[in-house]
Amino acid sequence: MDAVNRFDTRATHLLMRLEYLIALGVCTVLFVVNLGEVRWLPAVALFVYIDLIGYLPGAIAFHRSKSKDISKVYYVLYNTMHSFSTQFVVAGVWVLAFGWEWALLVIPIHLLGDRALFGNTLKPFAIRFEPEPHPAYLRLAAEVEPVRPAKVVAPRLTSETVPS
């Protein structure tokens, strides 16, 4: 569900992040290879606007709230702005209005970076806006991934270690 409340195993969560990391690498290489053709004002604007609209309002509301329960509107804003579907439409409209440009790669770089580097996914209503362990997750994790004692290896007995 999020970086702290993974309702999958740790290994599965890391594999999903690895897939996002590979895609992030591809987009970043394409961006860097074409750095000379990047228009920087659109690149910065396209990278930053996702969090200006989708994350900052919710983060501010969350940190100001004594109860930490904030309006679901902030979750919808976050999920809308951090959705590949929404950003595909934004990029499509941009291409129709201004034509293709390499600055558009900052959109998938932002979304893939959030998922690969920070483990952030879309925010479910059932958990806090800023990730923290949920009691239900902690119970599930204890059952799904119980802490196993380290394997104890018995020493090999040889004629030199066996007492006479």
Burial of 49 (0-12, 13-18, 19+ CB in 10 A): middle
| Both structure tokens of 85 | 């579907």
Cβ-proximal residues to 131 (8 Å cutoff; 6+ apart), any chain: 2, 3, 4, 5
Residue found by looking up tokens 């702290």 in the block: 4
Q: 10 Å Cβ neighbour count for 54? A: 22
| Both structure tokens of 138 | 């902690």
Q: 10 Å Cβ neighbour count for 128? A: 17
Query: CB–CB of 117/53 below 8 Å?
Result: no
| pLDDT at res. 164 | 54
| pLDDT at res. 137 | 78
| pLDDT at res. 6 | 58
Cα 79 from Cα 73, distance rounded (Å): 10
Q: 10 Å Cβ neighbour count for 28? A: 16
In one letter, which amino acid is 38? V
Counting as low any pLDDT under 70, the low residues of the chain are 1-7, 146-164
